[in-house]
Chain A
Amino acid sequence: MLKINDLHVRLEEEDKAILMGVDLDVTAGSVHAIMGPNGSGKSTLAYVLSGREGYEVTRGGVALEGQDLLELEPEERAAAGLFLAFQYPVEIPGVGNMTFLRTALNAQRKACGEDEVSAADFLKLIRDRAKSLKIDPEMLKRPVNVGFSGGEKKRNEILQMAVLEPKMCVLDETDSGLDVDAMRLVADGVNALRGEGRAFLVITHYQRLLNHIEPDVVHIMADGRIVKTGGPDLALEVETNGYADILQEVA
């Protein structure tokens, strides 16, 4: 599904290398987790995948189902099936959540040569998805993320994911700022979307999210590289011993 090959990335403004040779192969149907200490480059990887400006790829490449992702505009990446759940979802005053979701869904459908969804079908779809995420219908009428609590913002990200049905979901620190109950809701939402044709890349600092979203593969990232890869046990090791031991071990 997602193949990252020897990816080197530089932060344009500070002329600073952040990623220094990342290799990753996320197969369809699998859940990969990337863990790592602060500043290891996890969020940069998420932004580069989604096409945010300010990062320069100096070497390597990224392919989504064989398509060169780095050539595409952010909206084209979305239409190709990529979705990034933001660590800090953006507030957009004046744009209603419903309008936003419908515009996004129809834009993606249009890009894929499909017909737009009718207002009635859309309403049915979004009500159904919102209900399973326990999202208050009032929240759908409000402007995007404006006045939402931390938990509501993250649930709204998962709602967008559930409506847009991407193939490759990247979750950037989705657990940050969530209490246990909110985390369970978010995890349930993600788990409901797990399936054959869809892959997940879950970026997190702590192991606790991985209790709820069980990964198939766990990677440890440090200093812009994947330094260790293993099974779910690796996440538990981090939880027990911290990152220092692992980093020492691979050094």
Chain B
Amino acid sequence: MGLPARRQEDSEARIAHLEVPDGAAWATEMRKQAVSRYLAMGLPGRRDEYWRFTRPDDLNTPQAPHAAVVDLKEAPAFGEVDRLRIVFRDGVFDAEASDDLSCEGLEVERLQSATSHDIHWLKDVYGVLEARGQEPVARPFAALNTAFATDGIVIRATERVSRPVNLTYLHENPDSDAILHFAIKVESGADLTVLENGPAAARFNKCMEVDVADGGAFHHVRAQGRDHERRAVTHMFARLGKESAFKSFTLTANGVLTRNESFIELVGDDAVAHIAGAAVGDGDFHHDDTVFVVHDAVGCESRQVFKKVLRNGAVGAFQGKILVKEGAQKTDGYQISQSLLLDEDAQFLAKPELEIYADDVACSHGSTSGAIDEDALFYLQSRGIPRSDAQDLLVLAFLAEAIEEIESEDIAEDISGRLKGWLQRRRR
């Protein structure tokens, strides 16, 4: 029992400069439990089963590695969408830059104040979903987040909200080490869309907990990047009630280290969870999607669609699991992870897993890694399309299956446009 001494020292050193924020008794208790969870698990090491593809070193250091601030010429994502903007500058809420937080059908509050008084629903979400997601796989950075996050937002949606909430991150300090925590409750019959964009900090630890009640719907679209030197570790924990829907899509462009973890629990019958991602990397790029979907109710559907385009030494990793618990009959589980390697230096590492304890289920998974189809490329060229344009067309076609998971056509178009821009900037 207990961690090796070295690892324990490192784990303690990692949080030595952090303080558990003040708050109401329940919140302090939650945070203290999270500290204990974190210390019991310790920081990840190379030999941990779920960290074999990704070196955690830059996440383990007490100080964030330096990351240059980039000045992007590109217009920010979702600029065309009518949205409620909530801005964080190097991990600190910026009221000036944000919209008025009052919005019909929504209760929005900053984390510090929300955890300073008794909010009935928040007690059932904050740190609770994160803790549920620690079994069977340890997620120490999520526990660290719950314990020490000083900023963030809590959101409760009580009806169908047409205006998306847009979390916009700004990175201005090359040494910032941001920890943000979001707790979200979508009440029965309510519908909420959350958008995320912008480079957040030199190092960014984000945790989002989403509790979707019976018949509720949660949509999430995130545009990560294009800050190149960032290190990001993000967690999404979701608990889905009866006939609820959860749909999440992430676009990732650039980044020396990105680890996006999701832990989705389908606990009510006939719930639906779709989680998708498109990642494009060139050169010093490491992107890791680690997804865990738990079916714990009857007749639920889950889809995981992850696509990566890699070149010039870029590395992509995918660890995806579907766990079907005893009694979760009529489960429909699907998982696909594919990479398109544009040269021989790029690398894709995949570990798809199925674990099934019910006998009447349909689950499938597939993982492929391949190069551009030369026959298709020639066919397009033979019709007059220049080779580089033809290649971009095929890359976008490859990513299309993931982008199609976005329900809003406008947002899907925004994402496609970003990918086109990324490809064009990389023309030789």
A75 near B384 with CB under 8 A, answer yes
A174 interface residue (CB < 8 Å to B) = no
| B381 and A92 contacting across the interface, CB-CB below 8 Å | no
A114 at the interface (CB under 8 A from B): no
Which residues of A are found within 8 Å of B386, using beta-carbon distances? 73, 75, 107
Q: Are A104 and B385 in contact (CB under 8 A)?
A: yes
Give chain A nearest CB distance to B26 CB in angstroms.
50
How far, in whole Å, are A51 and B381 apart by their CA atoms in the complex? Answer: 9
Contacts of B397 in A (CB 8 A): 92-95, 143
A94 in contact with B396 (CB, 8 Å): yes
Return chain A residues, CB-CB under 8 Å to B374: 53
Do B379 and A103 touch across chains, with their CB atoms under 8 A apart?
no
* Contact between chains at A78 and B400 (CB < 8 Å): no
How many Å from the CB of B191 to the closest CB on chain A?
29
In this assembly, does B84 line the interface, its C-beta being within 8 Å of a C-beta of chain A?
no
Contact A104 B380 (CB under 8 A): yes
Q: List the B side residues contacting A77 at CB < 8 Å.
A: 382
Chain A positions 136 through 167: 1 when the CB is less than 8 Å from some CB of chain B, otherwise 0: 00000001000000000000000010001000
Decide if A90 is an interface residue (CB 8 Å cutoff): yes
Point out the residue from A51, A92, A93, A99 that lies within 8 Å of B382, measured CB to CB.
A51
Write out the residue numbers on chain B whose beta carbons fall within 8 Å of the beta carbon of A22: none
> Would you list which residues of chain A between 87 and 111 have a CB under 8 Å from chain B?
89-95, 99-100, 103-105, 107-108, 111
On whether A50 and B396 interact (CB within 8 A), knowing A75-B387, A90-B376, A103-B389, the answer reads no
Residues of chain B lying within 8 A (CB to CB) of residue A160: 383
How many residues of chain A get a CB closer than 8 Å to chain B's CBs? 31
In the assembly, what is the distance between CA of A204 and CA of B400, in Å? Answer: 38
Counting residue pairs across A and B whose Cβ atoms lie within 8 Å, the total is: 78
Chain B residue at minimum C-beta to C-beta distance from A108: B384
Chain B residue with Cβ nearest A80: B384
In the complex, the answer to whether A107 meets B376 with C-beta atoms within 8 Å is no
Beta-carbon contact of B398 and A100 below 8 Å: no
**Considering the chains assembled together, what is the distance between the CA atoms of A52 and B383 in angstroms?**
12
Is B159's beta carbon under 8 Å from chain A?
no
Q: How far is the CA of A230 from the CA of B383 in the complex (A)?
A: 32
Q: Determine the distance from Cα of A108 to Cα of B386 in the docked complex, in whole angstroms.
A: 9
| CA–CA, A77 and B380, complex, Å | 12
* Across-interface contacts of B390 in A (CB, < 8 A): 75
Name the residue in B383, B384, B394 with the highest tally of chain A Cβ atoms < 10 Å from its Cβ: B384
How many residues does chain B have at the interface if contact means C-beta atoms less than 8 Å apart? 23
> Are B379 and A90 in contact, CB atoms less than 8 angstroms apart?
yes
The reply to whether A73 and B383 form a contact with Cβ atoms under 8 Å apart is no
- Tell me the smallest distance from the CB of B312 to a CB of chain A, in Å: 22
Is A84 positioned at the interface, with any CB of B under 8 Å from its CB? yes
**Chain B residues numbered 363-416 whose CB sits less than 8 Å from any CB in chain A:** 373-376, 378-387, 389-390, 393-394, 396-398, 400-401
Q: How far is the CA of A111 from the CA of B376 in the complex (A)?
A: 21
* A-contacting residues, B75-130, CB 8 Å: none
Kindly supply a per-residue 1/0 record for chain B positions 220-237, scoring 1 wherever the CB is within 8 Å of any chain A CB and 0 otherwise.
000000000000000000
Pick from A78, A79, A91 the residue with the most CB of B within 10 Å: A78
| CB-based contact A94/B384 at 8 Å | no
Question: Complex Cα distance A160/B384, Å?
Answer: 11
Q: Given the complex, which residues of B lie within 8 Å of A107, measured CB to CB?
A: 383-386, 389
Question: Are A94 and B387 in touch, CB under 8 angstroms?
Answer: no
Q: Does A232 contact B (CB under 8 A)?
A: no
Chain B stretch 313-328: residues in CB contact (< 8 A) with chain A = none
Q: Given B373, B384, B387, which contacts A104 in the complex, CB threshold below 8 Å? A: B384
| Chain A residues within an 8 Å CB radius of B384 | 75, 78-79, 104-105, 107-108, 111, 164
A60 at the interface (CB under 8 A from B): no
* Chain A positions within 8 Å of B380 at CB level: 92, 100, 104
Assembly CA distance A143 to B379 (angstroms): 14
Question: Pick the contact of A74 from B381, B398, B401 — CB < 8 Å?
Answer: B381
Give CA–CA (A53, B374) in the complex, Å.
10
Cβ of A86 within 8 Å of any chain B Cβ, yes or no, is yes
The 8 Å CB contact of A86, one of B373, B379, B401, is B379
> Chain B interface (Cβ within 8 Å of chain A)?
373-376, 378-387, 389-390, 393-394, 396-398, 400-401
Q: Return 15 A-B CB contacts under 8 Å, by A number.
A: A51-B381, A53-B378, A73-B381, A75-B381, A75-B386, A77-B382, A83-B382, A86-B379, A90-B373, A94-B396, A94-B398, A104-B384, A107-B385, A108-B384, A164-B384
